[in-house]
Chain A
Amino acid sequence: MQRITTVVVGAGQCGLAMSRELRRRSVDHVVLERGAIGESWRSERWDSLRLLTPNWMNGVAGHRYAGSDPDGFMSAREFTASLTRAARHDGAPVMAGTRALSLDRAGGGYRLATDRGDFACASVVIATGACALPRIPRFAADLPADVVQLTPRSYKRPSDVPEGAVLVVGASASGLQIARELALAGRRVTLAAGGHQRLPRRYRGRDILWWMHRVGVLDLPYTRVDDLDRVRRAPSLPLLGDPSGADIGLDGLRDLGVEIVGRLGAVRDGAAWFSGALAHVCASADLKLGRLLDRIDAWAEAMGYAGPPPHRPTPTRVPDAPRLSARLGGGGIGAVVWATGYTPDHAWLRLPVFDGRGRLRHTGGVVGDGLYVMGLNYLRTARSTHIAGAPRDARALARHLVGATTRRAAA
């Protein structure tokens, strides 16, 4: 049993940002990493993935992006390399190849068991990521046996998908990107779209994230959000980090020959049944985009923005009568990609810290006495969802952690 003040679990952008803050505050700690630094980016994403955020937003643990293309989009591989460089530069105390197995209370602190021995510690920071486990609808079990099922975690490249028609379920970042890649590889692709968002990559001469960043869309603290549950459920922004600056959306996919259908509602008698509400979810996405652009335009006007004038994208082109069902297997759809979201993996926490739906309860990342979580959607602000949010969240939580430790020592 090793004694240490703080254990950080996970050496990605969050764990490394926290390590830096703890080091600055002279908190004795270790960063456990089940694989190598940035393991999720390294082994659990598809080959072609590039970050959705421009490089200037992708600094790690206080190190700004120092490359030559601040407006470009680095690949997941390049990002992994930048995580490794930052950790090495800082001398972060990373223990690679060490998997956290369970966390229990012990004495006044915690006992964290790993596959390489146990730790006794006063505080624990969970930084294992929001996208650890693909979330798959229950009716996936009803698919015919000859249909190959993939997730954005198991999908690596188009050649992984058997020949024939593919159904991509989900129109968030992962679903849109995988559908696009498959269509470009010449596959027959159907995309099932439920409630989704629509965003242009660029607006009035700037990256959409530049606007969101400047206008303050990303800064509303969790304490001031009306429906926190809803914003925390929001998927990744529907963007593509393509060097060309291309948009990714339902219209663009239709132009590539992708068939757009409604939300997958049921699997019955060897067929997939889609919702008839496609027009509604598209109209909702258009309205929401309109509100964001209104907000951007108001800000641009107030600031005297001199770039190109406001414009509005045309409404999403919804097919007249989208298909309501499709045959699965037997010459119909041969593969399904479940791009239906992710959940974090917190099963190793043997603590009463979950709500009725099995989600970790926390207040801006503070789970409880000496226990913290990072990297979850809208942990503290919308920025928390992005790589750029990690340093700020780490600072706030490290401050809380040190304060709590001091209070305990004084008591």
Chain B
Amino acid sequence: MTIQTQMKTADNGVDVEALREIRQALTDMPPAALFTWRATCAWLGGVHSRSTVETFHGACAEQAHRTPYSVEADHPGVFAATDNAATPVEIVLSALASCLTAGVAAIAQHRGVQLRSVTARVEGDMNLHGILGIDADVRNGFEAIRVGFDIDADATREEIAAIVAQSQKRSAVFDIITNPGNVKVALE
């Protein structure tokens, strides 16, 4: 009974009904599920750059965002840089947190759980001996990443833990970070 009521009243601002329809459509038409995402990055001088996203391919057609968006990246003063923006690795951490948070909201909605607040704190440990080429045994990227969720919702701790687990299971960025993938870089 409670679950039924929650199903109707929980509103996290995610249109689960529409998502369900999209899922069905993409199940029935597998080619429509093949997406290609793009970004164009321009050097702005120093180690400062601006990436812009505008178009992507999906649902068997060219698509575009409502408007182009851009994300700038730079490096902080301790790197002897101008610190005009976040570092690329902080953007990666932000992308992970955003992806998991979006998942938490959508899954909570799907399960009829009303969220009141969600905060994800992300930390990544990095040994700069890697990118500076000081120690060949140290990797460039994060040695470890930790995500801590602080969630206030109408649900038990176990239910919230299950939502967080499911958001990892369905997260693109979590997969990108935890699993190897092939990357090709070419000169055009």
Partner-B contacts on A (CB < 8 A): 195, 262-263, 265-266, 268, 273, 275-277, 280, 283-284, 287, 290-291, 321, 356
Residues of B within 8 A of A195 (CB): 169
Least CB distance from B166 to A in Å reads 8
Nearest Cβ on chain A to B49's Cβ, whole angstroms: 27
Is there contact, CB below 8 Å, between A273 and B144? no
Given contacts A290-B158, A356-B30, contact A265 B165 (CB under 8 A): no
- Given A273-B180, A275-B179, 7 additional A-B pairs, CB 8 A: A266-B180, A277-B175, A280-B168, A284-B169, A287-B162, A291-B158, A291-B162
Report whether over half of chain A's contact residues are helix, strand or loop; otherwise say mixed. Answer: mixed
Chain A residue numbers with a CB within 8 Å of B169 are: 195, 280, 284
A-B contact count (CB 8 A): 40
Q: Sorted from nearest, which 4 A-B pairs have the closest CB atoms?
A: A276-B178, A266-B180, A277-B178, A265-B179
Bound complex: CA of A263 vs CA of B177, how far in Å?
Answer: 13
Which one of A275, A290, A321 contacts B178 once the chains associate, using CB atoms below 8 Å? A275
Partner of A283, one of B161, B174, B180, B181: B161
Q: Cβ of A287 and Cβ of B161 under 8 Å apart?
A: yes
Q: Interface on chain B toward A: helix, strand, loop, or mixed SS?
A: helix
Count of interface residues, chain B, beta-carbon cutoff 8 Å: 16
Q: When the two chains form their complex, are residues A283 and B179 in contact, meaning their CB atoms are under 8 A apart?
A: no
5 A–B pairs (Cβ distance < 8 Å), ordered by A: A262-B178, A263-B179, A265-B179, A266-B181, A280-B165
* Contact residues, B7-35 vs A (CB, 8 A): 30
* Cα–Cα distance between A101 and B162 once the two chains are bound (Å): 47
Complex Cα gap A276–B143 (Å): 11
Q: Bits for B155-188, please: 1 = Cβ < 8 Å to A, else 0.
A: 0001001100100110000110111110000000
Q: Contact between A284 and B178 (Cβ–Cβ < 8 Å)?
A: no
- Distance between Cα atoms of A291 and B159 in the complex (Å): 10
- Which residues of A lie under 8 Å from residue B174 when comparing CB positions? 277, 280
Across-interface contacts of B162 in A (CB, < 8 A):
287, 291
Q: A283-B165, A287-B165 are in contact. Are A321 and B144 (CB under 8 A)?
A: yes
> How many angstroms between the C-alpha atoms of A321 and B177 in the bound complex?
15
Contact with A along B137-150 (1 / 0, CB 8 A): 00000011000000
CB distance from B179 to the nearest CB of A (A): 4
Which residues of A sit under 8 angstroms from B158, Cβ to Cβ?
Answer: 287, 290-291
Write the nearest CB–CB distance from B146 to chain A, whole angstroms. 10
CA distance A337 to B177 in the complex (A): 26
Q: Select from chain A the residue with minimum beta-carbon distance to B166.
A: A284
A36 to B178, CA, bound (A): 46
Give the docked Cα–Cα distance between A37 and B99 (Å).
52
How distant is the Cα of A82 from the Cα of B54 in the complex, in angstroms? 66
Interfacial chain A residues near B161, Cβ < 8 Å: 283, 287
CA distance A265 to B181 in the complex (A): 8
Instruction: Encode B81-105 as 1/0 by CB contact (under 8 A) with A.
Output: 0000000000000000000000000
**By CB atoms of chain B within 10 A, which of A263, A277, A290 has the most?**
A277
Residues of chain B with a CB closer than 8 A to A356's CB: 30
